[in-house]
Amino acid sequence: ADLVAPLGAPVPIAPVKGQMLLFEAAPGLIGHVVLKGDRYALARRDGRVLFGSTVESAGFDKQPDPAIGQQLREAAVALIPALAEAHLAAHWAGLRPGSPDGIPIIGRHPQVANLWLNAGHYRNGVLLAPASAELL
């Protein structure tokens, strides 16, 4: 959004913070994505389990919050009790580009000639990349 600000034609994209956990677990603990509400767990090939995630309006703050990490850990154990014994390998936060309505902004800018937009894919950027490129 800051890139086009000097043109006087803002693009309504804002950072959405998300926090995740990574557990060291035995391979095969879970064999598929486990989803409950807005929380999910997925296994990596090496057995580690990713668990997340949060949706926070925190500006550009990428610092993980220990209290949120504890809430995520409790939610992970409630969903997969065996994670209570698993070592917590990592807790991190990242930013996702979000649009006001959750729908990516794709196409010609309405005010600036020759400016094309492909932004605001939130947590689905990799998944939506082929279709977004086709639309653009």
CATH code: domain of residue 84? 3.30.9.10
For 126, phi and psi rounded to 5 degrees? -65, -40
Position 2 scores a pLDDT of 66
Tell me the pLDDT band of 55, cut-offs 50, 70 and 90: very high
Same domain, 120 and 93: no
Q: How many CB atoms lie within 10 A of CB 108?
A: 12
Q: Is the pLDDT of residue 8 over 80?
A: no
Q: Range of 120's domain?
A: 103-135
Contacts for 60 with CB less than 8 Å, ≥ 6 apart: 15, 95
Asked if the structure places residue 108 within a domain, the reply is: yes
Q: How many CB atoms lie within 10 A of CB 53?
A: 19
Asked if the structure places residue 68 within a domain, the reply is: yes
What is the Cα 96 distance to its own chain's centre?
A: 6
Same domain, 54 and 92: yes
pLDDT digits 0-9 by tens, 108-122: 988 888 889 999 998
Asked if the structure places residue 94 within a domain, the reply is: yes
Tell me the pLDDT band of 69, cut-offs 50, 70 and 90: very high
Q: How many CB atoms lie within 10 A of CB 105?
A: 17
Q: Residues 36-56: what's their mean pLDDT?
A: 93
Position 39 scores a pLDDT of 95
Q: What pTM, to 2 d.p., does this model score?
A: 0.84
Q: How far apart are CA 33 and CA 76, in angstroms?
A: 13
Same domain, 71 and 114: no
Same domain, 74 and 125: no
Number of domains in the chain: 2
DSSP type of residue 128 = H
Asked if the structure places residue 7 within a domain, the reply is: no
Position 136 scores a pLDDT of 87
